[in-house]
Amino acid sequence: MIKKDITQVKEWKKLGLKCGLEVHQQLDTNKLFCNCPSILRQEEPDFTVKRKLHAVAGESGDIDIAAKHETAQDKEFIYKVYNNVNCLVELDEEPPHEINKEALKISLQIAILLNCKILPITQIMRKTVIDGSNTSGFQRTVMIARDGFIETNQGKVKIEGLFLEEDSARPMIRDGKNIIYRLDRLGIPLLEIATAPDIKTPEQAKEVALHIGDILRSCRVKRGIGTIRQDINISIKGSNRVELKGFQDPKIMVKTVENEISRQQDFLKKRMNNPSEVRNVLPDGTSKFLRPMPGEARMYPETDLLLLNIHRNLINEIKRNLPKLRSEVLEDLKKTGLNHEMIKLLIRQNKFEEFKEFLRILDNPQLIAKILLIFPKEIASREKISINKIGKILNKEVLVYVLENLKRKKISEDQLKQSLERIVKGEKIEKAIVFEKEDINVVEEKIIEIIKRKQGLSLNAYMGLVMKEFHGKIDGKEVMEIIKKYVE
């Protein structure tokens, strides 16, 4: 490991390190060119679709080098499709709808926060991608703004451009020449922020990443693993530019940049040219060849949509309503009727965004606060598992799944916590929401028995006793009805 002191910084400068960052952040809206919700699924898909892609000459008449590489094999792509998060647009069976206005507004907010100049007229483009990760064979992308900057300890770093694009499908399995993708992620709005190659040291790269991350989190963006991805473009004097793709964790950024620098140095020592290529970052900070660097031949206009005009009025409106500060967030939470303690916990544990998101699934602030704050803690102490581990098991997707089943009345509020417990204990989520139902006559007999045995208790006390007896196999509301019948 190289020691990073002043001499090291000089060392980087001597090497002529040029480093630019690309941050890709999912926005928290419906999809960019259709009205599907932007939610990732865990379950088995509703159906699958088989497709092939053919390389096509771009507008210059050239087939893009990256596209050529991908089409070398006669691949078949299999797409797993989910009815509730996919429509004909993601299936490449319907033209795109008008660009999502919410996503555009959020992008413009971020553009303003990054001191960018917004383009008044711009065109939605198709970027040829034929590794199958886009059913259409291209990714829709549009340049929204340019020429911004952020301040760092080592000086200004210029923001070259801001691009709003569609996220790609998730690759699941590579099975010989076939690749299986899930279509849930395809079309989720993804904001790309590209800095100029102004970054001079790996430390500064990390600082830029964190700074941009802070701005993003003040706006309506998705949170959690996979919702933000970072690429770094790196070259040193005499070497060709290499794009490192897929950083999840800023912690390994410094190490990865250092590794890439020494990799490029090795080429130079051998008096060889390193190929300009895209490489995938591995968890240990090294990287692996992914594909050749794509050229400009792969961009052409999205002919199904009109030019995008970003009106002055819209920009002014956004400037007037830039994201809320922490104190304002507090006000919002108070309006939901949550008590002070819960609000404090939500903010401290940084669960505010999830809270808002879950509230959109089920309008029950108290229950959602419990799901986020209380239940994990209770389960952790009962099962003697660390709260961190519980948090990983009961991740957002699991909670969304359980909440949706509650909304569809597949489980009751009483059963929800038990479902979570069972998931923590290792049950599959599909099974953990299945409950045996106790015969209501048996329940009624038991209730009569309990009331006889322990006379004079309150309704709630009886309720507790009955629920304990049947351990979640019964519906609390029904039980209360029966108890009321016998306790006057």
Partner 1 sequence: MKSNAKLGDYVEVHLSKIIYEGILLETPESEKGVVLLKLDSGYNIGLNKKDILEIKLIKKSQERKEDIIIKKESSKPNIAMIITGGTIAARLNPKKGGVDWLTTPEDLFKFYPELFKKVNVIKVEVPFMKASEDMDFKDWQKIAKTAQRLLNDSNIKGLIITHGTDFLGYTAAALSFFLRDLNKPVVLTYSQRSIDRASSDANLNLECSALAAISNITEVMLVGHASINDDFCYAIPATKVRKLHSSRRDAFKVVNSKPFAKIFHDKIEIISDYKVRNRNKVKLDLKFVDKVALIKIYPGQDSSILNYYLRNKYKGIILEMSGLGHAPTKRSRNNWVKKLKEIQKKGLIVCVTAQTIYGRLNPLVYSNGRELFDTGIIYLEDMLSETALIKLGWVLAKTKNREEIKKLMLTNFSHELNDRLEE
By the criterion CB under 8 A, which residues form the site for partner 1? 49-57, 59-61, 67, 71, 88, 91-95, 119-123, 125-128, 130, 135-138, 141-143, 147, 161, 163, 296, 298-301, 303, 306-307
Task: Give the residue with the Cβ less far from partner 1, 189 or 294.
Answer: 294
Number of alpha carbons in the 13 Å side-chain half-sphere of residue 317 = 8
What are the angstrom distances between the C-alpha of 135 and each of 37, 68, 153, 322?
A: 18, 17, 43, 35
Smallest distance from partner 1 to CB 297, Å? 8
Question: Which structure tokens are listed for 464?
Answer: 């507790």
Q: Which of 282, 230, 286, 238 is nearest to 263 (CA)?
A: 286
What's the min distance (Å) between Cβ of 116 and partner 1? 13
Residue 26 or 133: the one with the smaller Cβ distance to partner 1 is 133
Kindly tell me which of 149 and 470 has the beta carbon lying closer to partner 1. 149
- Which lies closer to partner 1 via its Cβ, residue 128 or residue 230? 128
Residue 272: both structure tokens together: 């060889």
Closest separation in Å from C-beta 93 to partner 1: 5
The sign of the torsion formed by the CA atoms of 71, 76, 79, 80 equals: negative
Q: Is 330 exposed, middle or buried (0-12, 13-18, 19+ CB in 10 A)?
A: middle
Q: Report H helices in 336-424.
A: 340-348, 352-361, 365-369, 375-383, 387-393, 396-407, 413-424
Rounded CA separation 190/220 (Å): 12
Token pair of 330, please?
Answer: 């507090």
Q: Give least dist CB 66 to partner 1, A.
A: 12
Distance in Å, CB of 136 to partner 1, minimum: 5
- Name the strand (E) or helix (H) holding 441: helix 440-453
Which CB atom, from 165 or from 203, has the smaller least distance to partner 1?
A: 165
| Least distance (Å) between residue 61 CB and partner 1 | 5
Between 121 and 325, CB nearer to partner 1: 121
Tokens of 465: 């006793």
In contact, 164 and 104? CB cutoff 8 Å: yes
Smallest gap from residue 242 Cβ to partner 1 (A) = 18
Shortest CB 142 distance to partner 1, Å: 8
Smaller CB separation from partner 1, 306 or 322: 306
Type and span of the H or E element at 151: strand 138-152
Phi and psi, residue 385, nearest 5°? -120, 145
Our CB check for partner 1 shows the closer of 125 and 180 to be 125
